[in-house]
Amino acid sequence: MFRGIVIDKEDQNQTVHLRDDLEDASLPEGNVTVRVAYSTLNYKDALAITGTSPIVRRYPLVPGIDFAGVVEASDDPQYRVGDKVVLNGWGVGEKHWGGLAERARVPGEWLIPLQEPFTLRQAMGLGTAGYTAMLCVLALEKQGVTPDQGPVLVTGAAGGVGSVAIAVLAKLGYAVTAMTGRSEEADFLTSLGAQAIIDRASYSQPGKPLAKERWAGAVDVAGGHVLANVCAEIQYGGAVAACGLAAGMAFPATVAPFILRGVTLAGVDSVMAPKAARLQAWQRLAADLDIGKLEHLITEVPLEDAIPTASRLLAGQVRGRVVVPLNPTL
């Protein structure tokens, strides 16, 4: 028997319970079984747990879009018992049982080895949000955005993706401006490396097709009017790496920034990214993140508190990364 959060449906209504009677026989198909050391709460997990958005595609389901742990059994030649592994995405926590349980079973090709020098806890301190942030930084680099071209903007700055993106970009030498709707987080964002902080409110309403050029590049987790207004302020030849829709799925913009200023809007997907891209992102995190700042990003929440914390996360009351210990002594 093991513990886990289970989302189910009763009479078309979603239910969410912490259970301590789960059995290995209930685990989904896969050729690697992992004893989960740590998982996390991400924005998508919060949507799934609260039922705010139709994230869950199959019932019953354990949420949790990522985990880090130790291999307990493997029919995959890539992994042996005792190997430390990390999983991000692949539909886990949506249509395949996820990480918010003490055990998980997945196809081996979804896993990657834990990258040095990270511990299992540190890997989830970064989690899918940190890995996504690094994919965004790589996307900006691919588009030729360099520190000497001017400041870069990070939206949703106090959240998981935003906070890691600030820390990485600052260490790489970029002048980072943080956008947030939480002015009380100013000291936190400055400690991560942000040189300036701006209020999200002025970007949340319809704006001009083109505005004054301000940013060499941007990492956006918001979408909606925020993304449209950010694109309108990107310098000639600059780029935006877009990875989220916290402010809405719509994109109420014009083509003006793209055809008059040569701006690139680079979409970043962390769920189905190929293994090579995942490894590159984690290797770059190991090289380009000040691990000393990582602890400041982590809020640790026990499994029994994960359900109420999901509502707080959606309400914007949680900063940085929420880490959930399952078997922390591994």
pLDDT (average), residues 132-138: 98
pLDDT exceeds 90 at position 196: yes
CB-based contacts of 4, cutoff 8 Å, min separation 6:
18, 19, 22, 62, 100, 101, 102, 103, 303
Domains with residue ranges and CATH for the chain: 2-114+294-325 (3.90.180.10), 127-267 (3.40.50.720)
pLDDT (average), residues 171-195: 94
pLDDT exceeds 90 at position 54: no
Q: How much is the pLDDT for 294?
A: 86
Q: How much is the pLDDT for 11?
A: 81
Q: How much is the pLDDT for 303?
A: 97
pLDDT exceeds 90 at position 191: yes
pLDDT exceeds 90 at position 144: yes
pLDDT band at 12 (very low <50, low <70, confident <90, very high): confident
pLDDT (average), residues 263-277: 96
User: Strand pairing of 84-88 and 111-113?
Assistant: antiparallel
pLDDT (average), residues 217-245: 97
pLDDT digits (tens, 9 = 90+) for 288-297: 998 888 888 8
Q: How much is the pLDDT for 172?
A: 97
> What value does the mean pLDDT of the chain take?
95
Instruction: Map the chain to HEC letters.
Output: CEEEEEEEEECCEEEEEEEEEECHHHCCCCCEEEEEEEEEECHHHHHHHHCCCCCCCCCCECCCCEEEEEEEEECCCCCCCCCEEEEECCCECCCECCCCECEEEECHHHEEECCCCCCHHHHHHHHHHHHHHHHHHHHHHHCCCCHHHCCEEECCCCCHHHHHHHHHHHHCCCCEEEEECCHHHHHHHHHHCCCEEEEHHHHCCCCCCCCCCCEEEEEECCEHHHHHHHHHCEEEEEEEEECCCCCECCCCCCCHHHHHCCCEEEECCCCCCCHHHHHHHHHHHHHHCCHHHHHHHEEECCHHHHHHHHHHHHCCCCCCEEEEECCCCC
3-state helix, strand, coil in the chain (%, to 5): 35, 30, 35
pLDDT (average), residues 92-110: 97
Q: How much is the pLDDT for 126?
A: 94
Q: How much is the pLDDT for 296?
A: 83
pLDDT band at 275 (very low <50, low <70, confident <90, very high): very high
Continuous segment of H or E residues that includes residue 284:
helix 275-288
pLDDT band at 182 (very low <50, low <70, confident <90, very high): confident
Q: How much is the pLDDT for 162?
A: 94
pLDDT (average), residues 93-107: 97
pLDDT exceeds 90 at position 168: yes
